[in-house]
Structures are given as C-alpha cells and as structure tokens.
A and B are shown apart, each in its own frame.
Chain A
Amino acid sequence: MRIRLWGTRGSVASPGPDTVRYGGNTACVEVRTASVLIVLDAGTGIRRLGAQLSDYSGRIDLMLTHLHLDHLQGLGFFEPCFRPDVELHIWGPASTTADLGERLARYLSPPLFPVRLRNLGGRVVLHDVPREPFEVGDVVVHGQPIIHPGPTVGYRITDGSGSLAYLPDHEPALGAPTYPMPPAWTSGHELAAGADVLLHDAQYTTDEYATRVGWGHSSIDQTWEFARQAEVGQLVTFHHDPSHDDDQLDSLVAQLQERDGLEVTGGTEGLEIAL
C-alpha cells in the first residue's frame, strides 16, 4: 500500500509563504494498492491529484469522511469526474435526513457550483458507508461513525501489506469524564487499534482546545493519547489549523516526538508512506 498526502490542512485552504511545507490544501489522501485507487476526502488537495491522473482509466473509490466543505470543495475540480472512462464510486456517511446524492448536490449545483453532480460527465456511483467492513478490490475497508458534528465516519483500510487508519476530523475527548476512556468506550479506537499508520486530527494546542470544545477536533495531546492507546505504528498529524504556520507546526510535532512510545510524523503535503 502506498499513501500520499495531497492536502493536510483543516477547515479552510490556507496557501501562503508561511504554509509551504505543511501545505495549504485541505484534506485529500491517495491510497494505492496492487488493484485499487482510493481517494480519502475531496478537499482542495484533490485537484492536483486529479491532474496526475490524466492517463488513468477505470475505477476510483472516493471515500468521504463527511460533507463539510473542507472535505468536499475540490470534488468539482477533480478532473477524472468529467471523463467517461472513469467510474467514480463515492462513499459517504449515511444520514436520516437526505441521501448522499441530495447532500452532495447542495454544493454541486447552482448557485454554489455551476455544474450539477449528475452532469459531471463521468460515471458516478454513490454508496452509503455500511457499518460492517466491505471489500474494494484487494483491500478491506471499515468505516465507522466517529465523534464530529454531523454524520462523520473514520476509515481503516487494510491490505496484505498493512493497515491505514484515517480519522481527520475527530474529537474523541468530547464529553468524556476522563480521557482517554477505556478502549471500548473511546470513539474511533477500533478503527485505529494496531494500525501501521494513523492519520489523525491534530488541529489544536491544548490551550486552543479549551476554547473550542465541541467543534469536532482534537488537541495534539489528545491525539497523542489516542494514538498511544491504540498502539499504532506511526502517528501522522493531520488537519492542521489554518492559523498554524510551518514553524508552529514544527514545534508542535517536535513536542510529540520528544515523548517515548510512539513514532510521530508531521503530516506535510506531498508526504509519501509505503507499507
């Protein structure tokens, strides 16, 4: 399995001279195995990924964790959407209020976007993420609801080479009387447990989190505790706050790297990981 980060920023795209190394594009991760191409989230990072796929034909599985704009905004700029030789399977969390197509169309329709989802030109197949693990090609995907405002899932992707857990927007500490709680009572633990790589929300400092409880994100300390409890092989920080520049992020990552018991990598745009 090869993993490449195309967008690591949270909340809103934040390009500029202070965010060159960690990147300004919002969430998008490419996962390739021997037989499948999975794209995790369609933040603004997906545009550059699409440009790299100009010769690609066949099936692409786009797995959305949720439909907040920073995870969806790039979809209309994903070039394979417009090609009839690509079959795009879009997976998203189920909702009781509207099906996935209706919810995607709230963005992919005028006046917010000039082209409707049904008119993109490519073949698009929509799926609600089932609660049970499912197979796509040679990988097993497990999507589970996790704590974040609105229907939101995290994913675990496993093939013969290893496992990736992806929980970019996640606040497992919300409301917990102590943190971390026992594993069975910790949101997302089952997805992350023993994963070779965990990409996890690390949006805030501890001080920032104190004034943003309930916003759906984690402090770097909570993220570290979550990863340590899950005994992951490597924690990659993700969903960086748009106000954090490269130097601040270096400092936050360094704080985590000084601690024993966990390999920590700062999630930078362009980072590639091979399992």
Chain B
Amino acid sequence: MAQPIELILVRHLASRLTIPTLLTDVEGTLVFYNEAAEPLLGRRFDEAGEMAFDEWTSAYAVRDESGQLVRSEQIPLVRALRSRRPIHVRIEIIGLDGTPRMLEVSAFPLVGQGDQRLGAVTFFWESQAEEG
C-alpha cells in the first residue's frame, strides 16, 4: 500500500540521521527504523521488515524507570499516536538480542492536512544520568 507523502519524507529524513528513529503508521505498524536504531532493537530493519502493532509490541520488552513492565498501549510511541501529544520519558528496552538498554525517548504524532492522523515518530537517546 502506498504510504502518505509525509511518512515517505520522514523515512527519507530518518535514513540520513544518526539519531535512532522509529516510524509507525496510523495503525501502529512499525513501518521503518533507521540504521542508528538497529543496535538498540537488536536487528537490522532489512531483516525485520515492517511489523504489525501486536508483533513489535510483543517482540520488545519495555520497562519504566521503576522497572515495571510497560503495557503495549502505554509505550511512548503509542501514547503519542493515540493522544496526539508529544511524549518524553526514560525507559528500558530489551531488544531482540536480549540486551537491556536504558534510553530517553521522544515521541510525537504526525498530523497532516485536514487534521489527518498519519502516524508517529520516536527518537531515542542513550540515557544520561540525572544531574544533582
């Protein structure tokens, strides 16, 4: 199925960023992650391909700062998609390689012309220790 032009442009941008970036469509399907995100997720995108919502949310274990498992509907990217609001949190992700990584996550929704929901984008940063 043809992707909206906005998702195509974000994918092209993400493919050139060194910031780990995930892109989902409006259904929550993980349609792309860039090369920088591959070590965090434990698999190359070319190998993993697009993943339906249930597939990728069950493939990656996500924990909050207190170590509690985050339910799929509370994953930052999903919250951003559904609430149409940006989210910034610290989480721990256990990728497909089984390695846990503490990350800071910024997720924001993509809204196009005519208030059309298109998907969401997530940027990851290696988590910095809190100052003070």
Q: Residues of A with Cβ closer than 8 Å to B?
A: 93-96, 128, 131, 144-147, 151, 174-177, 181, 183-187, 189-190
Q: Is A185 within 8 A of B116, CB to CB?
A: no
With both beta carbons as reference points, the residue of chain A lying nearest to B112 in the complex is identified as A145
The docked-state distance in angstroms from the alpha carbon of A228 to that of B9 is 22
* Set of chain A residues within 8 Å of B2, measured between Cβ atoms: 183-184, 189-190
Q: Is A175 within 8 A of B114, CB to CB?
A: no
* Set of chain A residues within 8 Å of B9, measured between Cβ atoms: 147, 175
The docked-state distance in angstroms from the alpha carbon of A151 to that of B5 is 11
Interface residues in B, total, Cβ within 8 A: 16
From residue A211, how far is it (CB to closest CB) to chain B in Å?
19
Q: Is A95 within 8 A of B113, CB to CB?
A: yes
Quick one: given A94-B113, A131-B116, A151-B113, are A174 and B5 in contact (CB under 8 Å)? Answer: no
Quick one: given A94-B114, A151-B113, are A185 and B5 in contact (CB under 8 Å)? Answer: no
* Set of chain B residues within 8 Å of A146, measured between Cβ atoms: 5
Binds A, one of B12-20, B81-89, B99-107, B120-128: B12-20
* Set of chain B residues within 8 Å of A187, measured between Cβ atoms: 5, 8
7 closest cross-chain pairs (CB), A and B: A175-B12, A190-B2, A145-B5, A177-B15, A94-B113, A184-B3, A184-B2
The docked-state distance in angstroms from the alpha carbon of A50 to that of B4 is 35
The docked-state distance in angstroms from the alpha carbon of A151 to that of B4 is 14
Q: Chain A interface mostly helix, strand, loop or mixed?
A: loop
Known: A175-B9, A177-B15. 11 other contacts (CB 8 A): A93-B113, A96-B113, A128-B114, A131-B113, A131-B114, A144-B5, A146-B5, A174-B12, A175-B15, A185-B3, A185-B11
From residue A188, how far is it (CB to closest CB) to chain B in Å?
8
The docked-state distance in angstroms from the alpha carbon of A128 to that of B116 is 14
With both beta carbons as reference points, the residue of chain A lying nearest to B32 in the complex is identified as A185
The docked-state distance in angstroms from the alpha carbon of A145 to that of B4 is 8
Q: Is A175 within 8 A of B16, CB to CB?
A: yes
From residue A58, how far is it (CB to closest CB) to chain B in Å?
30
